[in-house]
Structure 1
Amino acid sequence: MDQKYMAGAAADGEGAGRRRFLALATGAATAAGLGAVSGCANGNGDRHGGGSDAGAGSKSESASPGGKPSAGGAHGFDVKAENARPGHSDWPVTKAGPARAIEGFADRVSVLPGESFGLHVSTTAPRFTVSAYRMGWYGGARARLVWRSEALPGTRQPEHAVDAGTRMVRTRWTRTATVGTKDWPEGCYLLRLDAQGGEGQRFVPLTVRSATTAGRTVAVNAVATWQAYNRWGGYGSYDGPNGGFASRSLAVSFDRPYDYDDGAGLFLVYEAPLVALAERLGIPLAYTTTTDVAREKQLLEGASAVLSLGHDEYWSPEQRERFTAARDAGTNIAILGANCCFRRIRLEPSDLGPDRTLVCYKSSYEQDPGFKRGHPATVDFRSAPGADPESSLLGVIYDGYPVDAPYVVTNPGHWLFEGTGAKAGDRFEHLVGVEYDKVDTGFPTPRPIEILAHSPVVCEGRPSHQDTAYYTVPSGAGVFATGTMRWVEALDATGDGRSGRNHGLDARSGALTTRVTENLLRVFAAGPAGRTHPAQDNVRSVYGSS
């Protein structure tokens, strides 16, 4: 098989191994800080029946003496003022408890400030509480408690079912509580469920999204990828109970909890460190999800920059169209991971609402009823039918998995390396992994494109290279791609690299990625980067060919 297609073929055959390898990072979040309860929520009715109004029995206190939580409106959100509020150090899940002690999901992946959503919770405890933490910087605490419910009655929800045709896990859980978001600032949230008596804790992720992104840098939560890797109920997009690829789900539902130990999906490792850094810098941010970008055609209009975070593999054609249109209108794009925009998906409704079923048949696309009705095949973007390699947007293309290799600086004079002290040939151990991208002009590649780091790797016996790259287009937009999935994870690497946390990344890697990302965020927030920092093509000098 041609080497260009080996990565895609391998991914279809990996099954449980790939999912387990990528999930190893999910226990790596820490925080510190103190603060007070603030905010309140008022329920706005139950669209799906059953449950209690969590807003009616909520606690409400000011964030600071005489303080009032910010409204978080579309035009009034101030990230600096928000992060000046006291943070809270008690947000992590520290008592997971037995399996199924408590777990839940929200019936919407995102809401606008002030909107309500439903919580569907199953617990063996008689009562539980819900605490809404907004994730950010907060002086290093990384979270602020915005709202906490009174004790709510707990119940054990029915067992799930598995769809015979698609092997999709279905829950028929009733709504436990309706939660309003009045006075919740826009941002990334983790709702912590606490079973009575310390019997268990789990997170439920939620995005309080921005109504407009004009003039702001947009953090896009990769909820489709979170769900594809979710194996709650025994099935996910990679395998089923027997661990084999053939037993995978052909469609997965957002109507279930996340199976990772803390319930936060992939957020804490692949996204939270970047959100914290951007908020520490005071970058004007907007917040949304991959689902929102796909649904709302004008959402990215006027944005300064759009950020794809650490693991953003599953994209709908609509999402890709929105990103491409934004780039062509002058919006900068940063790809802060690897294996981005690799799987083509379709979003369909569930019983609880629109866009809550993720369809991805992969190599079995001919079995897809949607494909038979004329929808695009849910195969890898680079694959037929309808091949459209991701490199035409990203500049780089996914090349393989798994690797663990040093990151090698090639172009230390580039503006993105300013202030790092990096020199040509400097190596940063373990920073390339577990998946990687490269510049490959055998695929559609925008030019001019600059390679900043060119790192030798060996992937399952095949020598190759990882590339970090930057290109610019006539609209003035700049597009940056790290080419490694560990970039965002490395932002939190402050240790000696020997503890096994953060894949052995050390403080030196943490310092490099932090400074490069700071340079990137500041320049991208200022407007079309290509107008002030045009790319200087160096593919020939790096690869010896054009």
Structure 2
Amino acid sequence: MAHSDGPAGTDRRRFLGLAVGAAAAGAAATAGCASTAGPTPPADTGRSSAARPAPSATAAENALPGDPDWRITRPGSAEAIEGFADRVSVLPGEPFGLYVSTTVPGFRIRAYRMGWYGGTRARLVWHSDALPGTRQPDPEVDAATRQVRAGWRRTATVQTRGWPEGSYLLRLDAEDGSAQRYVPITVRSRAAAGRTVVVNAVTTWQAYNEWGGHNLYNGPTGGLATRSLQVTFDRPYRYADGAGLFLVYEAPLIALAERLGLPLAYTTTVDLARDAELLHGATAVLSLGHDEYWSPEQRAHVAAARDAGTNLAVLGANCCFRRVRYEPSALGPDRTVVCYKGAWQEDPGRRAGHPATNDFRAAPDADPESSLLGMIYDGYPVDAPYVVTEPGHWVFAGTGAKAGDSFAHLVGVEYDRVNTAFPTPRPIEVVAHSPVVCDGRRSFADTAYWTAPGGAGVFASGTMRWVEALDAQGPGGHGNHGMDGRTGDLVRRVTENVLTAFAAGPAARTHPAVDNVAAVYG
């Protein structure tokens, strides 16, 4: 069931990627159906690598006043102001370089830590003085790989002394008020012991980033023939706000987790691949709404943590689908994402002995994602109701859901299912079993929970809209794909149940799975 991208897939990726940027609420696509100076924060720089965080640290941070002015209200033209950081993450207190291009004479930087903050969702932790603006050169495109790079000069060095761990958006504000743009960066945690780990899926953000005319799906022709074979973090994000996929697929979950006051740690997919000890002692790892591109190293480190008793929550679909390799760029290590996909035989790294940079389930190095997650990606595109089938399961506690209850539009735009034709760990429970029709093919989207021999619990939502649904309110309509407040209430409560149980330790001890695959699928 290996899948190779085709022209139709390229078109929908372009459409959906632009929709995310335009509305901050779209769903990006992957493989097709045929395959089956602001307030001073508390210092957080002296913790030893072995220390466990105080349980109240997240609550204490979110008790500080938020700043409702963090949102972009004047995006301006595409080139009015934009930028990127030379690190995807830093430890608290580490500096990073900022590269900015603008058509205005001056600008300022504001750094917002994203969280709950009483519902405002962001806190201003630092702002710059006025800085001179410069229009930087046009992108550079490598002829062999079609990689696009911004060969810009550094604009500023940003210090992070006193910045708490977390996910940040820097906002670039044109001094004349004409334009604004975000630059994302993670202030990562030194240790994860005793914490739930939030993983910013920066590799997937970059795979879909079409800045300069190319990403891993599209080129100027809109087809595979001119797509990039590798992409770099040395460029801004094209989407209208500059935040990559963060605001759609990650920020709502971070707000909920911080509202619960859970001890949290923050990292990125790049850091998770680099550091084999990062997840040591973590209570849980969270894969958020769109987390498609993984390296073999990241997968191995997550699998080892799961086998040691660290719980895993997959709050999206199409997770761990593409295999990538990191290489250095001109600005530092691990800033180039290599993914040749169907052209894997042309990858020089393959000839050097690296695994093929194609789908994990595909030959020649087939390792389906289901062996890690329990679920397998099944297709695109769908828009279908979510159907509860095991309302007595602990994940639905307090929801009031009944067997057969249906929640419109929650399954989409991509979905996963339990499919024992692929490696499937047992025991596994299917708790929601939603009929779908994907490009004329009848199938099911599943939400499943299973428990590993080492004690870990693994929850997989089975739909890419799960994190988006956390923000669903009211009667539905155009926002959040038409999902209504009833759907939002269900997803919020289930997510709270999962996060709370997973933060308490190996979930198999208190919530052992009872296999029901035969009853569901026959």
- The interval holding the TM-score normalised by the smaller chain is over 0.9
Aligned to 2:366: 387
Instruction: Show the 5 A alignment for 1:27-46.
Output: none
CA contact (8 A) 1:12 1:362 kept: no
Aligned to 2:518: 540
Work out the percentage of aligned pairs sharing the same amino acid: 69
* AA at the equivalent of 1:521: L
| Cα drift, residue 61 of structure 1 | 4.4
Aligned to 2:448: 469
* Deviation by residue 1:163-197 (Cα, 9 ceiling, x = unmatched): 10100002210100000100000000000000111
CA contact (8 A) 1:494 1:507 kept: yes
Instruction: Show the 5 A alignment for 1:54-203.
Output: 59=37, 61-62=39-40, 69-71=42-44, 73-74=46-47, 75=51, 78-203=57-182
Q: Give the 3 Å change call, closer, same or farther, for CA 268–394 of structure 1 in structure 2.
A: same
**In structure 1, distance between residues paired with 2:281 and 2:7:** 37
SS at match of 2:70: coil
**In structure 1, distance between residues paired with 2:12 and 2:519:** 37
| Cα drift, residue 10 of structure 1 | 5.1
* Deviation by residue 1:365-392 (Cα, 9 ceiling, x = unmatched): 0111111111100010000011000000
Q: Give the 3 Å change call, closer, same or farther, for CA 27–333 of structure 1 in structure 2.
A: farther
| Cα drift, residue 13 of structure 1 | 6.0
- What is the root-mean-square deviation of aligned Cα atoms in Å? 1.4
Aligned to 1:241: 220
| Cα drift, residue 11 of structure 1 | 6.7
CA contact (8 A) 1:115 1:181 kept: yes
SS at match of 1:198: coil
* Deviation by residue 1:30-51 (Cα, 9 ceiling, x = unmatched): 9xxxxxxxxxxxxxxxxxxxxx
Gap runs ≥5 in structure 2: 26-36
Aligned to 2:463: 484
Instruction: Tell me if 1:522 matches 2:495.
Output: no
- How high is the TM-score relative to the length of structure 2? 0.95
Aligned to 1:53: none
CA contact (8 A) 1:26 1:268 kept: no
**In structure 1, distance between residues paired with 2:18 and 2:475:** 22
SS at match of 1:15: helix
SS at match of 2:68: coil
SS at match of 2:176: helix
* AA at the equivalent of 1:456: P
Aligned to 1:14: 9
Q: Give the 3 Å change call, closer, same or farther, for CA 227–443 of structure 1 in structure 2.
A: same
| Cα drift, residue 497 of structure 1 | 1.0
Q: Give the 3 Å change call, closer, same or farther, for CA 73–143 of structure 1 in structure 2.
A: farther
* Deviation by residue 1:410-459 (Cα, 9 ceiling, x = unmatched): 11110000000001111000000000000000000000000011000011
| Cα drift, residue 73 of structure 1 | 4.9
SS at match of 1:172: coil
Among 477, 480, 504, the residue aligned to 2:482 = 504
Number of corresponding residues: 505
**In structure 1, distance between residues paired with 2:166 and 2:455:** 28
| Cα drift, residue 29 of structure 1 | 6.0
* AA at the equivalent of 1:18: R
CA contact (8 A) 2:6 2:224 kept: no
Q: Give the 3 Å change call, closer, same or farther, for CA 134–426 of structure 1 in structure 2.
A: same
Q: Give the 3 Å change call, closer, same or farther, for CA 214–61 of structure 1 in structure 2.
A: closer
**In structure 2, distance between residues paired with 1:18 and 1:157:** 28
CA contact (8 A) 1:25 1:502 kept: no
- How high is the TM-score relative to the length of structure 1? 0.91
Q: Give the 3 Å change call, closer, same or farther, for CA 73–141 of structure 1 in structure 2.
A: farther
Aligned to 1:24: 19
Aligned to 1:364: 343
**In structure 2, distance between residues paired with 1:439 and 1:61:** 48
SS at match of 2:493: helix
**In structure 2, distance between residues paired with 1:459 and 1:367:** 32
Q: Give the 3 Å change call, closer, same or farther, for CA 185–540 of structure 1 in structure 2.
A: same
Runs of 4+ residues deviating >3 angstroms: 9-13, 25-30, 72-77
Gap runs ≥5 in structure 1: 31-58, 63-67
SS at match of 1:197: coil
**In structure 2, distance between residues paired with 1:208 and 1:346:** 23
Aligned to 2:255: 276
Among 330, 334, 347, the residue aligned to 2:313 = 334
SS at match of 2:508: helix
Q: Give the 3 Å change call, closer, same or farther, for CA 438–275 of structure 1 in structure 2.
A: same
**In structure 2, distance between residues paired with 1:157 and 1:10:** 34
CA contact (8 A) 1:158 1:173 kept: yes
Aligned to 2:420: 441
**In structure 2, distance between residues paired with 1:116 and 1:503:** 39
Among 220, 227, 230, the residue aligned to 2:199 = 220
CA contact (8 A) 1:339 1:436 kept: yes
Instruction: Tell me if 1:405 matches 2:378.
Output: no
